Every structure is written in C-alpha cells, then in structure tokens.
Amino acid sequence: MISIIGSGQVGSAVAFLCGSEGLDDIVLVNRDEKKAIGEALDISNAVPSNSTMSIKGTGDYSQIINSDVIIVTASIGTHQASRSDIMLDQSMLIRDIARKIQTFAPSAKVLMVTNPVDVMTYLVQKEGKLGSKNVLGVASSLDSARLRYYLSKHFGVSQAQIHDALVLGEHDDSMVPVFSHAKLGNTPVNDLLNEKQRSHITSDVRNYWKSLRNYKGSSVFGIAKNTYDIICAMIQNKSFDVCASVLLDGQYGLDDVCMGVPVTITKDGIVQINEVALTGEEKQQLQKSAGIIQKNIARAQEFLKSSR
C-alpha cells in the first residue's frame, strides 16, 4: 500500500501516476480532508479497468497503517528566495508527521519530498526514530535530470545522448553537478566544455526552479515522475540505481548528514550507497555542500528543541 501525506500539487500528481498504472492501493492524507477525498475521487476514474487497486482520501493519519511506502509532500507553503527560507515552520510540520509515521507505520519506507528536502529527510528519520535505510529524500534525481536537460541544450542533442549526468549534494544553491562523469555519447563532457561553460550550466541547473517560477509555480510533473520511479522499484522489488538524499555514515568522507548521492534501492529500502570517483574540486564542493546542510540541520534542531 502507498500512502501520500499532503495531497497538494506534487502529492496528487504522484497519486495520479501510481493510480493510472494501477500500481497498488493508495491512501491520500491531507490536513484539508476534502482536498484528499476530491483528488482520490478524480484519480479513481484513471485507474485501469482491470486493476483491483483502491484509492481513498482522508484526514485521518491512522489510515496509513499497513503502508509499504509513504511519500511526504505536505508543506506549509512556498519558499521564496531559497528552499531554506521556510525551514523552521516546515520542521515543526515534519516532526509532527514523523511521529505519526512512528505511531502507525514505523517500518514503512519513507520518501521525503517536502523542502528543504535534505534537512527534512534528516529530521523525519531522527524525530520519527525511523531506520536510516528506510528513509530517503527525492531531489537529486530531479537535479540530475536538469543537468541532462541543460547539457542536451548546450550540445544541441536529444537528452538520450547525454549519459551519467549526476548532481550530488544539497537540493539548493550548493548542489554539485558532477561534470567529470557526464558524457555526450562516449565522449566525456569535460573534453568539450571550458570552465566558463561549466560554470554557466551549473548556475542554470541550480536556478532551474527560479526559471520555472517565471512560467508556473514550481515543479510538479518532474518531481512526481522521479518519485514515482522510486515507488515502482520499491513496490515491484526491482533493484534501482538513483541519486537520492540519504544519511551518510562515512561515505564520501562525510558523517551525520543527509544529502544527494548515488544509491541502490529495492523493496528493502536503501541497500547500498554508491561512491563514485570525484575530482578534487568536486570533493571540495561536496564537503562545502554538506557543511551548509549540517548548519541548517543544527538550526532546525535547535528550533525544535525550543518548541517541544
């Protein structure tokens, strides 16, 4: 069973993808119960006619009992200048949700989408006392797709011709596009790009959400599909390699921080954290990114301590 906490734009798009494929039973939980019921009613008509799955909307958290996978997309609102600008209020919300997950579905796999996603991924597992292998944040696969997009634009080729475009680190201004891995066909992109071009593409990838905001609110379909791919792998127990925010325990020389790195997932959650070779500069950027996330985690934890 799949539970989606927060049936706003992203949550209902994830539910639509799961429902339209008849993936599994779905429970949509929203603070505004009517919204959850409405989305469930709408998506019910997109379920394949030969599917036995059910979909319901509710405001009652006890309905998440029996969840195999829980997706958290609940949010108090929209950030403006940076994803961290509503971090403290989001922390309170996520602590409350973490406790509900601990009460009703403590062994479910949890996919965190709510921003700032790296800090929220850390908090949900600590505050909910959930196993680190069971919790991941979805974002760096989206950032990696954005790098692939900009590289394809730069070279004037289809996205299919760009391989191994990885973005690691924070899902915000310090994210690290790993140019040393990306290829155009079989050619390393580093053989084709100069420093100025790399810096330009890095800035475009980091600011993708701001560009999007000029035209529509924020990412809905991009993040929904990236989340859906992970849900599919877990529900169907396929081994899937993806970049996601997970708790590091020495990997990349980093400890006690959640950030985007390559991982292998199955129905058992994160079965492996994969370390890819990085250049000296990329390593330095990743350390800097980790430091920024750790400072934000400390600030959020301090705030939560003072508002128990």
Nearer of residues 108 and 184 to ligand NAD, judged by Cβ:
108
The C-alpha atoms of residue 61 and residue 65 are separated, in whole angstroms, by 8
Among 3, 134, 144, 219, binds ligand NAD (CB under 6 A): 219
Active-site option among 163, 171, 181, 200: 171
Residue 114 binds ligand NAD (CB under 6 A):
yes
Q: Of residues 153-212, which lie at the interface with ligand NAD (CB under 6 A)?
A: 171
The C-alpha atoms of residue 62 and residue 121 are separated, in whole angstroms, by 22
The stretch among 17-25, 49-57, 69-77, 162-170 that binds ligand NAD (CB under 6 A) is 69-77
The C-alpha atoms of residue 183 and residue 296 are separated, in whole angstroms, by 33
Q: How far is the CB of 83 from ligand NAD (least distance, A)?
A: 6
Q: Is 222 annotated as a binding residue?
A: no
Amino acid occupying residue 133: K
Q: Is 197 annotated as a binding residue?
A: no
Q: Is 171 a catalytic residue?
A: yes
Cβ atoms of 53 and 24 closer than 8 Å: yes
3-state SS class at 233: helix
Residue 99 binds ligand NAD (CB under 6 A):
no
Residue 60: name the closest of 81, 38, 40, 30 by CA.
30
Among 18, 93, 184, 257, binds ligand NAD (CB under 6 A): 93
Which H or E run includes 163? strand 162-163
Q: How far is the CB of 167 from ligand NAD (least distance, A)?
A: 11
Residue 147 binds ligand NAD (CB under 6 A):
no
Residue 296: name the closest of 115, 119, 90 by CA.
119
Residue 169: name the closest of 233, 229, 117 by CA.
117
By CB under 6 A, name the binding residues for ligand NAD: 5-11, 29-32, 35, 73-75, 93, 113-115, 117, 138-139, 142, 171, 218-219, 223
Enumerate the active-site residues: 171
